[in-house]
Structure 1
Amino acid sequence: MDFPERFLWGAAGSAHQTEGNNVSSDLWALENSPGSPFSERSGDACDSYHRWPEDLDLVRDLGLNAYRFSVEWARVEPVEGHFSLAALGHYRRIVEGCLARGLTPVVTLHHFTSPLWFQQDGGWLGSGAADRFRAYTRAVVPILDGVEWVCTLNEPNLLAMLSSRISGGSGGGVAGELPAPEQAATDALTAAHRAAREELAGKKSGWTIANQNFQGPAELRDAWAWPREDQFLAAAVDDDFIGVQAYTRVIVGEDGALPVAGDARRTLTGWEFYPPAVGEAVRHTAACAPGVPILVTENGIATADDAERIEYTTGALAGLHEAMTEGADVRGYLHWSLLDNYEWGSYRPTFGLVSVDRDGFRRTAKPSARWLGEVARANRLD
C-alpha cells in the first residue's frame, strides 16, 4: 500500500500534556484545587518544555518527517493584554528546531487549555472571546515563519459539548456520548476560529474535529451527529484543511449513544478497540466537506501492550489507505502520541510511541515507534 509523495508521517503532542508546570492555565488551577476531580495532576508532565530538542531528535531519528505540537496560550498571555516575549521565543525555537531537522511543524494554537483569566471571565461564552483569541493569534503569527500547517482549535466540538467547562476524568466515555453542545458555545468557537484564520492568511489553517464514527439507523445517527460533529465539519468547508482525529466508534440507538458491548475488546480508556475508525472518519469528513484536504492529526490507542499498538495502527493505516484510494485527499498521518503523556487527569492511559520514565523523564522508543518509522521511510504499508 503505497502513499503519495510528500505524505506527512509524524507524531503529535500538546503543550499541557507534555511540557509541565503550566501554572497560568485553567486546567492547572483545577488540577491543584481542593477536591479536584482528577486522580493525578500534570505536574512536571514529560518536562518537554526543557527537553523538546530530545523529542525532536526522536521524531527525526525514527524516520518520521512531521511533528505536531501546540503553543500554550496561558504561557504566551498569562495576563490579558501582556504577551510574554520569552514564551514566544521558546516556541519559535521549537519551530526552528523542526525545520533544522527536516521536520514539518504542524502547530496548534489551542489544545484544550486556556489562560485562567480567560476562563474566569466566562471562557468561550464570555464577552469578546473571539476578539481575545484573535489578539493571541496575532501575537503568535510572527513566530510562525516557515510553518505551513496551523490548527486553530483542537476538537472544538468537544469543547462545545463541555459548554466551556474543562474536560476531566481518566478514561471512560468518548466525546460522542456527551450531551449535545450549547449552540452559543458552538457559535463562539466558530467565530474564534474564523477570526484566527483571518490573522493566519497565507498559511494553511483549519481546525481539528473529534470524529466519533457514529453508526446506527441513519435517521437516529444523523440527528445525533449533527450537533456533535457534522455542524463543525460544515463550518470548515472553506478552510484550507480539516484535521481528523479518530480512535473508536459510537453506536446510536433510540435513546442515544449505546454503551460499548460487554464482549467488545477495549483499550485502557475503556473505548472499543476499533482500527477502522480513522478510515471511516476520513470518508465521512470527505463527504461532509468535499474538496477540503484532510490531515489526520490524531489516531492511536491507549494500551500497555505495544504489539497491540502495532496491530491497531496497521489496521488503521490500511483503512486510511483504502479511503484514499476511493478519492479522499489525505495529506498526512500524525500518530497520537509521540510520548506517554498526561491524559487529562491520569498518566495511566499510555498512547505513546515512546515511554517516559516518571522519575527521570528518560525517553525510550518502543518497537511500535521503530515500526512506524520504517513505514514512514518506505512510504508504504506492507
Structure 2
Amino acid sequence: MLRRSVIFVLVVVLAMLGWQPASAATWSRSFYWGVATAGFQSEGSAPDSNWSRYVATAGGVDPYGNAVDFRHRYAEDIALAAGMGVNTFRFSVEWAQVEPRPGVWDAGELAYYDDVVRHIRAAGMTPMITLSHWVYPGWVADQGGFSNPRTVDDFVEFASRIVPRYPNALWVTFNEPVAFLSEELKIGAVNPLQISVWQADVVRAHRQTYDLIHRLDPSAKVTSNQSFYAGFNAATDLVVMDQIRDKVDFVGLDYYYGVSLDNLTALNAGSGDLWNVKLQPEGIYDALRYYANRYPNLPLYIVENGIPTDNGKPRADGYPREAALRDSIFWVQRAKADGIDVIGYNYWSITDNYEWGSYRPRFGLYTVDALTDPSLTRHATAAVPVYRDVIANGGVPEGYRLVQGPASCSLVDPLASCLAPPDPDGPLAHLG
C-alpha cells in the first residue's frame, strides 16, 4: 500500500509539472479526414532548389511553369476542401522559400505561410505541415544536401523558425524518406557511396526535430510518413522507420499500389506509367495491419492514398476515382472494426499537380490542366461529391458492395495478406 501511495504521489507531482503518460495523450479529433498537397508540386513561383535546378537542366520532363499556382489560389483550394467537409489540410512549408540564403529569413514568405495556416484554421481544419517534401534550398544542394552532416543542423534551425508559428498542428518531418532517397539518386543529388551517410543524417535530423517540436509545443503530433512498398516494407522500414520508432507519435503511411499472384502491374510504376497500375484497395487493410503488428503501441494515419489517371482520361481498366475512393474507405472501416487503431485518412491530392517531372499523372479530386489551360481552372471530378458524402456519413454504409473485389493471394504483406486475407463481409466501423 505504501508503494502504491508513493507512486500515486509521484504521478500527481509529475502531472503538476506538465508530464503525461503516453496513454493520456489526446487527439483533437475523433477521426482526421484530410486532403493533401505539397509546395513544389503545387505552389509555382519556385525559387532556387535541388528540384528547380533538376527541372531546368533535365531532358524529358515537363516544364514546371507555375504548377497549379497554389501560391495565389490557396484560399480557393482550402475553401474547396472545406466544402467537402474535410477537417485536415496537409501542405508543406518550403525551406527554399523561407531561407533563400544561409541565415536569411524572408519575412514575406513567412507571412505567406502564416496566411495559409490562418485560412486552414478559419475553415475549421487542422493543419498537417510537412517540413521536407523532397525539396531544399539551392545553397543546401551546393553543400551536398543530406549527404553533408552540416545539413542536419541547418534543417533543425529551419524547423525552429517554423514550428513556433503554428501550435497544435500535426507535423511530418520527412515525406517518404525511402522514396526521397530514390529521387535524390535519380536527380544526381546523392551517389550510391553516400547512401549510408544520407540515411544517418535524415534519421538524426528527424530525431532532433521531433525533440525540438515537443519542446516548443508539447501538444504537437509528429511523424515521418512512410511509403508502403507492397511486399518490401519489412526491408525498407529498416532504412528509417525502425530507427525513429521511438520518436513518432503516430505511424503515417502512404498506400497506393498492391501486388498479388494475379496482379504484377505495379511494375509500371517504375517507368512512370502510374495510370497502368491496377489498384488493390484491399491492400490498405493489409498495410494497416502490417504496421499495427510492427509498431503495436502507435496509432496509424493514412497520410496519402489516391488514384492516378492518364491526363484526366478514364482509366483503361474502367475503375473510376470515385469507386476507388469508396472501396479504399471500406477497407479502412474494416480495419477499424477489427481493432486496428487508425485515426485519419488523407486523399492525395486536392488538385492535380506536378508529379516530379510530369503533369501527366492526375491524382486530383479537382483536375487542373496545367500545360494547356492558362486559367488553371479547378474542375471537380466525380469523386468530390463522393468524398463529401463519405465524410458526412463516417464512411460507406453497411451493406456496401465493393466495385473491385480483393485480388487473388495478395502479397502486400507476404505471406499474411495471402494466408489471412481480410474478410469483405465483416462489420464496418463508423469513422466519425
Q: Aligned pair in 2 of structure 1 residues 250, 133: CA closer, same or farther (>3 Å)?
A: farther
**What's the Cα RMSD here?**
2.6
Q: Aligned pair in 2 of structure 1 residues 38, 77: CA closer, same or farther (>3 Å)?
A: farther
**Count of residues in correspondence between the two structures:** 349
- Tell me how far apart the structure 1 counterparts of residues 225 and 73 of structure 2 sit (CA, whole Å): 26
Shift of 1:183: 2.9
Residue in structure 2 matched with residue 212 of structure 1 by the alignment: 229
- Map Cα deviations across residues 113-144 of structure 1 (whole Å, 9 max, x no partner): 11111112111111312111101100111221
Which 4+ runs in 1 deviate beyond 3 A?
161-168, 224-227, 258-262, 266-270
- Tell me how far apart the structure 2 counterparts of residues 278 and 180 of structure 1 sit (CA, whole Å): 34
- Would the aligned equivalents of 1:353 and 1:368 in 2 still touch at CA under 8 Å? yes
Instruction: Establish whether residue 381 from structure 1 lines up as the match of residue 390 from structure 2.
Output: no
Shift of 1:272: 3.2
Shift of 1:343: 0.6
Residue in structure 1 matched with residue 66 of structure 2 by the alignment: 44
- Would the aligned equivalents of 2:148 and 2:198 in 1 still touch at CA under 8 Å? no
- Map Cα deviations across residues 258-311 of structure 1 (whole Å, 9 max, x no partner): 77489xxx9744433221232221111111111111111100010233861112
- Tell me how far apart the structure 2 counterparts of residues 294 and 198 of structure 1 sit (CA, whole Å): 20
Instruction: Establish whether residue 245 from structure 1 lines up as the match of residue 251 from structure 2.
Output: no
**2:331 alignment partner, one of 315, 319, 337:** 319
Instruction: Establish whether residue 124 from structure 1 lines up as the match of residue 159 from structure 2.
Output: no
- Tell me how far apart the structure 1 counterparts of residues 314 and 86 of structure 2 sit (CA, whole Å): 22
TM-score of the two chains, using structure 1 as the length reference? 0.85
**2:206 alignment partner, one of 178, 181, 193:** 193
Residue in structure 2 matched with residue 23 of structure 1 by the alignment: 47
- Map Cα deviations across residues 78-106 of structure 1 (whole Å, 9 max, x no partner): 11111112111111111111111111111
* 1:247 partner amino acid: Y
- Would the aligned equivalents of 1:208 and 1:245 in 2 still touch at CA under 8 Å? yes
Instruction: Establish whether residue 302 from structure 1 lines up as the match of residue 314 from structure 2.
Output: no
- Tell me how far apart the structure 2 counterparts of residues 181 and 308 of structure 1 sit (CA, whole Å): 42
Residue in structure 2 matched with residue 283 of structure 1 by the alignment: 289
- Tell me how far apart the structure 2 counterparts of residues 16 and 161 of structure 1 sit (CA, whole Å): 17
* 1:94 partner amino acid: V
Task: Say which structure is richer in strand.
Answer: 1
- Would the aligned equivalents of 1:89 and 1:143 in 2 still touch at CA under 8 Å? no
- Tell me how far apart the structure 2 counterparts of residues 167 and 316 of structure 1 sit (CA, whole Å): 35
* 2:96 partner amino acid: A
The secondary structure found in structure 1 opposite 2:173 is: strand
* 2:175 partner amino acid: N
- Tell me how far apart the structure 2 counterparts of residues 373 and 205 of structure 1 sit (CA, whole Å): 27
Q: Which runs of 5+ in 2 are unaligned?
A: 1-28, 398-432
Shift of 1:164: 5.5
Q: Aligned pair in 2 of structure 1 residues 349, 41: CA closer, same or farther (>3 Å)?
A: same
User: Quick check: which has more Rg, 1 or 2?
Assistant: 2
* 1:149 partner amino acid: L
- Tell me how far apart the structure 1 counterparts of residues 34 and 314 of structure 2 sit (CA, whole Å): 21
The secondary structure found in structure 1 opposite 2:296 is: coil
Q: Which runs of 5+ in 1 are unaligned?
A: 169-178, 215-223, 253-257
- Would the aligned equivalents of 1:300 and 1:337 in 2 still touch at CA under 8 Å? yes
TM-score of the two chains, using structure 2 as the length reference? 0.75
Residue in structure 1 matched with residue 408 of structure 2 by the alignment: none
- Map Cα deviations across residues 37-58 of structure 1 (whole Å, 9 max, x no partner): 4420222001110110000110
Q: Aligned pair in 2 of structure 1 residues 305, 10: CA closer, same or farther (>3 Å)?
A: farther
Q: Aligned pair in 2 of structure 1 residues 167, 121: CA closer, same or farther (>3 Å)?
A: closer
- Tell me how far apart the structure 2 counterparts of residues 287 and 248 of structure 1 sit (CA, whole Å): 20
* 1:311 partner amino acid: A
Q: What is the percent sequence identity of the aligned residues?
A: 30
- Tell me how far apart the structure 2 counterparts of residues 156 and 261 of structure 1 sit (CA, whole Å): 21
Shift of 1:20: 0.4
- Would the aligned equivalents of 1:240 and 1:292 in 2 still touch at CA under 8 Å? yes
Shift of 1:180: 12
Q: Aligned pair in 2 of structure 1 residues 274, 192: CA closer, same or farther (>3 Å)?
A: same
- Map Cα deviations across residues 309-357 of structure 1 (whole Å, 9 max, x no partner): 1121222112222222222211110000110111111111000000124
Q: What are the within-5 Å matches in structure 2 for residues 178-189 of structure 1?
A: 182-189=195-202
